Amino acid sequence: MESITESTRTAKMVDLRQFDSFADKESFMEVTEWSNAEGFDIHVESKTGKQHFALTYGEFKALTVLINCF
């Protein structure tokens, strides 16, 4: 029998109107850290629809570097 591990994942959520002038009252972003602490899941709901993606911390660091180039 396989070993089953139970974990509690930390999640943070924010109303996007604080950051995005195009956001409506239904718009939010939620970030949930992976149980192994190597990355996180991102869920965004806004007028443009629902988006869900995952990044490792290394991928996030690369994305931050690229965005800061603008």
pTM attached to this predicted model: 0.86
Is 23 in contact with 44 (CB distance < 8 Å)?
no
Q: Tell whether 4 is covered by a domain.
A: no
43 within some domain: yes
Confidence check: pLDDT of 2 > 90: no
19 lies in some domain: yes
Residue with tokens 């109303």, as numbered in its chain? 15
Does 1 score more than 90 pLDDT? no
Q: Which tokens is 15 given? A: 């109303």
On average, the pLDDT of the chain sits at 96
In the prediction, which pLDDT does 19 show?
Answer: 97
Let me know if residue 32 belongs to a domain. yes
Q: Identify whether 23 is part of a domain.
A: yes
Tally of structural domains, the chain: 1
Residue 46 domain-assigned (yes or no): yes
Domain assignment present for residue 40? The answer is yes
Per-residue pLDDT reduced to its tens digit, 20-53: 999 999 999 999 999 999 999 999 999 999 999 9
Q: Which domain holds residue 62?
A: 11-67
- Residue at 1 is within a domain: no
